Structure 1
Amino acid sequence: MLLALSMKKIEWIWDMVMIPAPTSEAELLDRAYALAGFTLGELAQKCHITCPVDLRREKGWVGMLLETCLGATAGNKQMQDFQNIGIELKSIPISYTGKPLETTFVCVAPLKDVHGLTWEVSNIRNKILKILWIPVEGEREIPLCERYVGMPLIWQPSIEEEAQLKADWEELMEFIVLGKVHQITAQHGEHLQLRPKAANSKALTKAYGVNGQPIRTMPRGFYFRTQFTSRILANHFMLSNLDITKE
């Protein structure tokens, strides 16, 4: 069950002030299991963090809270959240039926100095090599502080999944290399999509136009589509009723 109460109760959860980074995958997973069955409000209280009313101005708050609880050290740096053990952390808001409610941000997309960049050495591939997924209740009628944390899972892309993501990445990066970032739409990419990633439309970054001229545009981010993350959850938790058609 995604939202089952974990039977693993670890004492550190009741004294979350400074959580050291986990030293192994097993330790990280034990910590993640210990969070299952608690509400976001309870975890925030243990971490001495104020729980906002909603996420309209605190989009990354849930992820930040879980990072604090688990001892992540990367912050906003372009590296895995648990670099010493090679694992990225992703929270995922789910519906009552266990379906992801929104796309999942992976990482910021490079918009300049991308000639010669390959999938094998890209930051996005480094980010997805191994992911700790933590489902969290996400239905809007549930007050944020009353939303429960679900059972975690460790996921690594299969050869087929990585090939699918690589194909999407190459398609999207071709637009960027050719200076056509503004031509990318929500229809591009089967499992991975590129979307604006900024607090507001005035937050611009450098990129290149079709003639190689410098331009200013909104930052972009790579996102997993919900049909891709639905399949990950369905395969792990053996959920047969998830709708995994493309949004």
Structure 2
Amino acid sequence: MQTTPPQSELELVNRAESLTGYSFAELAEEAGIAVPKDLRRDKGWVGQLIEAHLGAEAGSRPEQDFAHLGIELKTIPLSHIGKPLESTFVCVAPLTGIHGLTWQQSHVRQKLSKVLWVPVEGERELPISERHVGFPKLWTPSLEQETLLRADWEELMEMIATGRIHEINARHGEVMQIRPKAANSRALTDAYGASGKQIKTLPRGFYLRSHFTHSILLESQ
């Protein structure tokens, strides 16, 4: 299946809305994609399935999924009562070359400037093929939401810039946190330690906390 990129925001939203209620098995068959037995080794499979139907072009490139529209796509697995089951990955956190970097220039702000949220059933006891797609939501951060995101970004980036990366833990950040993001513990990258010398550490990523994404999904359209 080769879906051309949508030419407008309205076309993208209409495509996303047309997927509502379909099972992963139905969408995978139409796209010619095999359904995995579990998502432990295929964590990005759901996102790739939705991307295939919506015509996303970015792939693994560090830009918005629909860069020509300025829109990022995020699938979000929900529990049976409609709450996000996990935090949402935004982008990789820069650990070097960050002197002078501002919130306005940040990759996080670019990624979150406009997001198409596509909720999906995510309960682990539900077979992957039987999970369904929910109704999408196009979201732009409110002034209050962006203020919260900026405050977290600035706090976390200051800790990285001052060599305190190993002090960052799950308690830092009100709506957005930094967590290690690596396939295994051998995938190390460069950073700076407290003495200012270069060190090796696990790559980090920015993640939105689930209570924040839940509040987004509860907003009226």
TM-score (norm 2): 0.98
Residue aligning to 1:140: 124
Letter in 2 for 1:95: S
Residue aligning to 1:109: 93
Residue aligning to 1:19: 3
1:233 aligns with 2:213: no
Runs of 4+ aligned structure 1 residues displaced above 4 Å come to none
1:174 aligns with 2:158: yes
Residue aligning to 1:81: 65
Residue aligning to 1:100: 84
Residue aligning to 2:184: 200
Letter in 1 for 2:10: A
Letter in 2 for 1:132: L
CA-based RMSD: 0.9
SS at match of 2:155: helix
1:127 aligns with 2:111: yes
Deviation of 1:236 after TM superposition, in Å, equals 3.1
TM-score (norm 1): 0.88
Unpaired segments ≥5 residues, structure 1: 1-16, 238-247
CA distance in 2, matches of 1:60, 1:34: 21
Letter in 2 for 1:220: R
Q: Work out whether residues 94 and 139 of structure 1, in 8 Å CA contact, stay in contact via their aligned partners in 2.
A: yes
Aligned pair partner of 2:198 in 214, 237, 242: 214
1:56 aligns with 2:40: yes
Letter in 2 for 1:91: T
SS at match of 1:127: helix
SS at match of 1:55: coil
- Post-superposition Cα deviations, 1:28-67, rounded to whole Å, max 9, x if no partner, equal 0010011111111111111111110111111111111111
Q: How many pairs are equivalent? A: 221
- Post-superposition Cα deviations, 1:209-231, rounded to whole Å, max 9, x if no partner, equal 11221111111110000110110
